[in-house]
Amino acid sequence: MKLNFNYDGNVACKAILQDQLEKFDIKYQLLDLGQIEIGDNVSENVLTELQVCLTKYGIQIIDNPKGQLIQKIKDAIIEIVYEKDKFPNITISQYLSDKLNFRYGYITNVFSEYTFTSIENFIIIQKIERAKKLIIEEKLTLTEISHELNYSSVAYLSTQFKKVTGLTPSMFKRIVVKKRELSNND
């Protein structure tokens, strides 16, 4: 038997962090996405053990300032892409500058230096990943998806979708439907 499921990565990550912090009896407060304030002094040994446990889930404790900035940039972009009401009425460059309190030029330089891609490309990739999830859920039409992701048209969404995935959204949807049919026949 096969089960299809959907998950919210942010919710899953928070749950994992909470479980692990409670396992080590660490007093904490969840702040922004990707940040936790620890209430007590925690020994290096406990932090090391916590890091080992979190690594199993692909979660890392970031201890250098530029790494922290990059994670904040990624978190802000993911927040914008996945929460429609968070999409700023201002440009993304202004939004990131305001949210992170750095000049946008500095933000883009640090991001591209450490990730080897541009912020614009990262945004496109995140939007296409979200589009794929929305197509798989089959609750919205392509027009609604393009609107949800703040594209000016379905054609523009389709162009970017094909550049990233090599498929049009319609082809991707047909593949998803076919896979479901095949798995239901098993």
What is the CATH classification number for the domain harbouring 141? 1.10.10.60
Q: CA-to-CA distance for 153 and 168, rounded, in angstroms? A: 14
- For 30, the enclosing helix (H) or strand (E) is strand 28-30
42 and 78 together in one domain: no
**Cα dihedral: 53, 56, 57, 63 (round 10):** 60
Predicted pLDDT of residue 88: 61
141 and 174 together in one domain: yes
70 and 55 together in one domain: no
The label of the residue with tokens 């940040």 reads 35
Domain of 106, in residue numbers: 64-116
110 and 88 together in one domain: yes
84 and 55 together in one domain: no
Q: How many domains does the chain have?
A: 3
What residues contact residue 127 under an 8 Å CB cut-off, 6+ apart? 81, 149, 151, 160
153 and 102 together in one domain: no
Domain boundary pick from 101, 116, 131: 116
3 and 48 together in one domain: yes
Q: pTM value?
A: 0.71
57 and 69 together in one domain: no
Per-residue pLDDT of the chain (186 residues; tens, 9 = 90+): 666 677 777 778 888 888 888 888 888 887 766 678 887 787 888 888 888 888 888 888 877 788 889 988 998 898 888 876 656 667 889 889 998 999 999 999 999 998 899 999 999 999 999 999 999 988 899 999 998 898 989 999 999 999 999 999 999 999 988 888 888 776
Q: Which two tokens stand for residue 56?
A: 């199993």
The label of the residue with tokens 């916590």 reads 50
The label of the residue with tokens 């593949």 reads 175
Can you give the C-alpha Rg of the chain in angstroms? 19
Predicted pLDDT of residue 2: 66
